[in-house]
Amino acid sequence: MSTQEPGVRRPPRRRRPPALSPLREHLRDTFWFAPAAGLVGVLLLWWAAAELDAAIVAAFQEHREYEALGELIGLADDAKTIITTVSSAMMTFIGVVFSISLVAVQMASGQLSPRVVRIFVRSRITKLTLAVFLATFVLSLLVLAAYDGESDPRKVTAVPLVQSVLTMAMVALSLVLFIAYVNSTLRLMRVSHVMDRISRESLALLKAQERDREEEVVLGPETARLTYEGRAGALRDVYIARLVRVARRRGAVLRLIPRIGDFVLPGTPVIAVHGGAEVTRKAVRRTVSVGVERTFHQDLGFGLRQLADIALRALSPAVNDPTTAVQALDRIVQFLAVAVNLPLGALRHRDGQGRVRLVQDVPSWTDLVDLGLTEIRGVVAGNPQVSRRMMAGIDDLLSLAPPGRREVLERHRALLVEVVERTVPDAADREFALTADRQGIG
């Protein structure tokens, strides 16, 4: 299926932790789950506070502490004015605050790449802020409804004092989150922070997948192919744990045919079965997730795709921002420098006994280098800042690369020289454009 690339050091084998369901990642790609969970949580919190208020009133009435109970009623009435103001202003506040998100998303999509919108959708602080704001609004309504209008301590049944304190605490939390939210949104509107976020997620995935690679994998004869049935779209991820369980029960090895990120059509084969008993389509149902866009969950090349898109848009005549392209190259070189000494064969997912049960193809070293450099190299004409940075990046990677991984870098270096020589007529300008400089034009 695949072999160890020459000159590549294989890290010591470590036991892979159990593969999790992709459900958590799918929920992070939605914007409804966190607010919905917040509303459920605040309902439970309000119910507990209401029960506590009722117990306090009952205790005061049982001990005939009517004077103290009257003071609590007065405090609750004073708090009612604040809660009424909070209730009437919170929805307006939510509308104003989250219009900031729409502006930020529009600016990022237009200036960087439509793919970076997912960063805003997956932002934890944005979801937490929306959840707390909505929860505060709902809690204020519930507290206002809890007032029974009775002022006689002997007859009163509900004094929502604990509920009022809880509402004010939620308001304070909302203000703190508002400050954190604005700070986070302003950071995500800056291209350097967006690219840092992309590179960190890409590197985290690269290091997580490192544990799944081995030198050799021997597959038995292919006994069946299972086709995809569903809507067309990008292959986002697969449910690794379930596929491993199915393969173990059937005594087979499963092989994922398309690569994560490929566009999958209905009726096309997605899983090949090698050896073992028959594996039906029903057994692997809901193990392959297809969506309208790629995600970082298992897609090793998606980060480089986004960084290359940002650089290409920055170098377009409409934008003409070579400095952003240089920053994108910084992150591309960073990713490739980490990957240069890692084994990049197919992923092997094992069962509890250590037997390979699922084989998953991933981009090779050549694929990653081509993805990161090819398109940017094609538009460096007239941008010596970018060609100088790319030359420095390739030279740095050549100094790090083992012998088996130098060829693709040398090819890109030669093609870069060819592009500059073909498009820059003056010899002095060519020499300047091909001088390695980590800052482009430092």
What is the mean pLDDT, run by run of 10 residues, along the chain of 442 residues?
A: 45 44 78 90 93 84 77 80 84 79 75 78 87 92 81 76 89 91 83 90 85 61 88 91 90 92 93 87 86 87 93 90 93 95 84 87 92 93 92 95 94 94 90 91 79
Instruction: Report helix, strand or coil for 47.
Output: helix
The candidate with the shortest Cα–Cα distance to 255, out of 214, 212, 225, is: 225
* β-pair partners for 225: 272
pLDDT of 390: 95
Residue 160, both tokens: 């929502």
Tokens 């892979």 sit on residue: 16
pLDDT of 21: 63
Identify whether the C-beta of residue 116 lies closer than 8 Å to the C-beta of residue 151. no
pLDDT of 58: 81
pLDDT of 12: 41
Backbone angles phi, psi at 256, to 5 degrees: -75, 120
pLDDT of 15: 43
Q: Give alpha helix (H) positions in 251-360.
A: 302-314, 322-339
Tokens 């650089």 sit on residue: 311
Decide: residue 231, CB within 10 A, 0-12 exposed, 13-18 middle, 19+ buried: exposed
N-to-C CA span, the chain: 46
Please tell me the pTM assigned to this model. Answer: 0.82
Contacts of 415 (CB under 8 A, 6+ apart): 377
Instruction: Report helix, strand or coil for 130.
Output: helix
Measured distance CA(424)–CA(23) in Å, rounded: 52
Tokens 């009623």 sit on residue: 73
Strands 253-256 and 356-360: parallel
Backbone angles phi, psi at 322, to 5 degrees: -65, -25
Residue 73, both tokens: 């009623």
Tokens 């995935």 sit on residue: 205
